[in-house]
Amino acid sequence: MRSAKGQKGRRKRRSNWGPTVLGVLLLAGALGAVYLIYTSAFAGGGDDEAEGPAQVEVVKGDTLSTVATKLERAGVISSAFVFKVEARVDGRDTTVKTGRYTFQPGADADEILSKLTAGEAVPTIAVTVPEGLTLSETARTVAEGTDISAGKFEAAARRTDYGYAFLQDSRAQTTEGYLFPRRYDFEKGVTAPQVVDRLLGQYLLETEGLDIAGARERLGLTEHELVTVASMIEKEAANAEERPVIASVIYNRIRKDMPLQIDATIQYALKRPKENLSYSDLEIESPYNTYENEGLPPGPICSPSLQSLRAALEPAQTNHLYYVLKAGGEEHFFTNDYDEFLRAKEGAGR
């Protein structure tokens, strides 16, 4: 009985001691893990760090958490979690200010946070690239807002060696069509290739949600051809609502082996805008002459908006083959009847 009682007592003592030891071990393990994360995040030289200075843009609405994630992705720090913990444990002001910042990889957390909360961003210049500009027009726009000459920008934009898959199509001879229109902030001293790369990167970001891969199956179009269609829609549509209808006319004419006869492609071939095209203009010798050549032109004729890209992907279901701009220039008249088209054209004074 004594033996049994003693054994029971020993089992009881072991059951009390076991959880204590386990708790100590778990605590030690957790502290060790935090230490390893901390040292990897701020010791510098981590495998995930950038090789050189990294740029991080803080936009309106960003919080410490979202900025920490950007810092981690840029290779400035190795752990967004540890960065946030240290910032809050120190009781520092964590209200980050908007701007574009440059950091060295492995920078000290205090230094990073001080820069972000003080708003010590790199001086920037704003450039707005409107929708529907050609490569040359974009070059002039960039030149007006930066120290980059139009010639340098155009030379950089005529290269396609920026590493983007959409420029690997053999028909993409320049970046025409992919210089995405929007407002940009660039650091002072930015170079022409850097601006071109930024615009191309924006195109990639903006089109991530579009089913461009499905365009080949549904419409029989490559991405380059899709952007070409979108660029014509951008130039031809008089308002946002009729973009999908313009798209339907383009596809309907292609299916019927009809020349597209789109004036905007003639304007592009002429390399100079004209309010009214002459009959001799329509005979210009160019692969972009959609009056003389059937099918799509070789490439985009401008940088289309996201709305025009969507219209090219999701055309309206119509049987329209013709359209003419109504008097006033705010909308088009659409029809599948050629005689009706001619009457509408005459009525609009065109």
**Which tens digit of pLDDT belongs to each residue from 80-111?**
999 888 888 877 778 888 888 888 887 888 88
Render pLDDT for 297-306 as a digit per residue (tens, 0 to 9): 999 999 999 9
* pTM for this model (two decimals): 0.71
Q: Which of 14-23, 62-71, 174-183 shows the lowest mean pLDDT across its residues?
A: 14-23
* pLDDT of residue 65 exceeding 70: yes
Q: HEC profile for 205-237? A: HHCCCCCCHHHHHHHCCCHHHHHHHHHHHHHHC
Better-scored residue on pLDDT, 289 or 350: 289
The phi and psi torsions of 57 (rounded to 5 degrees) equal -100, 125
Q: Which of 21-25, 133-137, 145-149, 286-290 shows the lowest mean pLDDT across its residues?
A: 21-25
* pLDDT of residue 44 exceeding 80: no
